[in-house]
Amino acid sequence: MTEIPQLLDAFIHELLALDPVGATAAGLHDHDARWPDMTAAGRAERLAFLDRWEATLRAIDPASLDADGRVDRDLVLGEIAARRFDETELGDDRWDPLAWVYLMGAGIFPLLARDFAPLSERLASVAGRLETLGGLLSSAETSLVGMAGRPVSRFHAEVALQQLPGIVDLVDEAERTALAAGADPGVAAVRPRLTASAASARRALERFRSHLEHVVLPASEGEGRLGADLFARKLRHTFRSGITPDEVRARATTEFAAARAEMVRIARDAWPTSVPDRPLPDPDAPGADGETVRGVLDAVAADHPSGEAILEFCRSELAAIEDLVRSTDLVGLPEDPLAIEWTPVFLRSLAGAMFDAPGPLDVGQRSFYYVTPIPGDWTEAQAESYLREYNDRMLRLTTVHEAVPGHYLQLMHAIRCPSLPRAVLASGVFAEGWAVYVTQVAIDAGYGADDPALLLTHWKYYLRAVANALLDVAVHVDGMSREDAMRLMVEGAFQEESEAAKKWDRARLTSTQLSTYFVGSAEMWDLEREVRRRRAVASSDPRGAAAVGEPRVVGGFGATPGFAYREHLEEVLAHGTPPTPLLRRLVLGEA
């Protein structure tokens, strides 16, 4: 059917009309002044839309489509199933107050941060959303009563109250932006409307804050952990595969031991230089491996910028990484604008660093690599612990992960994918897995080859991704305690106390997302291994597939006959950001 691209484009545009904040994120700006209808009627309309489109797509014989059409059809069917699960079973909007804070932030922030249209038009859209914010928050108050067997999470309510001032900051920023435009006639025309809508939005936000504090919070309980059954069902939708929590745990446990052993090996070699005033711990003594790794990491952690200098350090390191990618011809570099800035307040509960890309329909707009600053109310000891975690080497690796050749590079390639569904319906498993995977690829290409401290920190960074998956499963399936979680991260994965504490919070605030880093990267390595084997078989090398060995940890394959990294990486990048099972079909031609 030659019309399948047009049919799926129609699905995407209808989907985004029902999800105006998602439309803004995608770069479709026809709906920038609206919020989604979060009433019961709005949910019914979305479910009817999903049912209608599922019937339409299942009526199409896959055999009538080419390979790309089959993948896109299956991608959209997976998205329909995931969204129906969110609406009917997961129900974040009914038990997670923080979901409403994120919705508001995602609806306002991009309109201020990206210049996809004249400022006057963007501020008019902000005014439209601020004028109707009271209605959105009335829906929130009606919805936040929990679900059967799932009360409103007290922990999520507490964090929502902490983060809500960040939305007020965005309202204030909109007014400041309008004032800073001076005599711009378009902005001057919209300024009175913006001022009035900002005032009404502040009142609505204060009413919502009071409702959270005095009505929602007293009736809330627990931490919002999903439990084994719901977590397993969400995991299937996150990964778009049949993977189970036990399978995630088993693979992560094996990899945890391998990565930790690699850290021990590197630390023993680095000890005489890094810790010259102490003898190397006896390898046969109890706890010697941990003492050895921690001793070298402590020396590495002492080398860090001040809190105020972090952004400039990352900007400088980005230029150095780009030079390496060019000199090794690893992969083509994008030229789209990238800004390295402090994380917006409403997002600071999520991570120490993150990447925010423009939508696939906003080609040419800025991307943001965000670094979370040290909170102003932290003690000196807390700040120093944070800086020791985000030391020079960790910041270098974070810049690889978030920018080049990580998220920024991948997503700038992805937005040029001709398939609208693959560009808009981006898989977090692909995106996070790519960033973890390609960091090791950069190491194999020579990044930090002369710096054992960076290599040790790299394996710590990778071990953190593996620990994320173990933490994710244990928190939601097993009811893991804080004590056990901190032991896993601090003693097992060598994290600083401050970083581990933030991750403990994140593991309870989110679900399945922390598994995407490790599982996604493992699937990327599985794909590369298979491509290498096929290239070796197709070459004249008599060893065939046996030319591809099994490294003791990920990466480190060395040369494979017929395999070139630039060719492989750009083939992976050419398909947007689909779920990794669909990526395998596109790259390998599998049924």
Instruction: With CA atoms as reference, report the closest residue to 351 among 316, 306, 386, 307.
Output: 386
SS3 (DSSP) at 369: strand
**pLDDT tier at 535, thresholds 50, 70, 90:** very high
Across 98-107, average pLDDT: 96
The verdict on whether omega for the bond into residue 276 sits within 30 degrees of 0, i.e. cis, is: no
Structure confidence by residue, pLDDT tens digits, 427-479: 999 999 999 999 999 999 999 888 999 999 999 999 999 999 999 999 999 99
Q: How many CB atoms lie within 10 A of CB 200?
A: 15
Residue with the bigger pLDDT between 538 and 358: it is 538
Query: How many percent of the chain have pLDDT more than 90?
Result: 87
Q: What does pLDDT average to over the chain?
A: 94
Q: Which amino acid is at 299?
A: A
Contact 463, 297 (CB under 8 A): no
pLDDT of residue 141 exceeding 60, the answer is yes
Q: Could you tell me if 109 and 368 are in contact, meaning their C-beta atoms sit under 8 angstroms apart?
A: no
pLDDT tier at 1, thresholds 50, 70, 90: very low
Peptide bond into 405 cis (omega under 30): yes
Element (H, E) at 355: strand 353-356
What local confidence, expressed as pLDDT, does residue 346 receive?
Answer: 63
As given in the structure block, the two tokens for residue 545 are: 């597939």
pLDDT band at 349 (very low <50, low <70, confident <90, very high): low
CB 422 within 8 A of CB 572: no
- 129: exposed, middle or buried (Cβ count in 10 Å: 0-12, 13-18, 19+): buried
Q: Containing H/E element for 288?
A: helix 288-301
* Residue ranges per structural domain of the chain: 4-239, 245-334+373-518, 519-588
pLDDT digits (tens, 9 = 90+) for 81-100: 999 999 999 999 999 999 99
Task: List, for residues 381-390, the tens digit of each pLDDT value.
Answer: 989 988 988 8
pLDDT of residue 2: 53
Looking at 222-303, which runs of residues are DSSP E strands?
A: none
Q: How confident is residue 376, by pLDDT bands cut at 50, 70 and 90?
A: confident
Instruction: Summarize the confidence of residues 495-521 as an average pLDDT.
Output: 93
Residue 438 confidence (pLDDT): 97
Segments in 304-419 forming alpha helices (H): 310-328, 380-389, 392-402, 407-414
What is this structure's pTM? 0.93
Share of the chain above pLDDT 70, in %: 98
Would you give the end-to-end CA distance of the chain in angstroms?
A: 18
- Cα 99 from Cα 92, distance rounded (Å): 7
Segment 208-231 mean pLDDT:
97
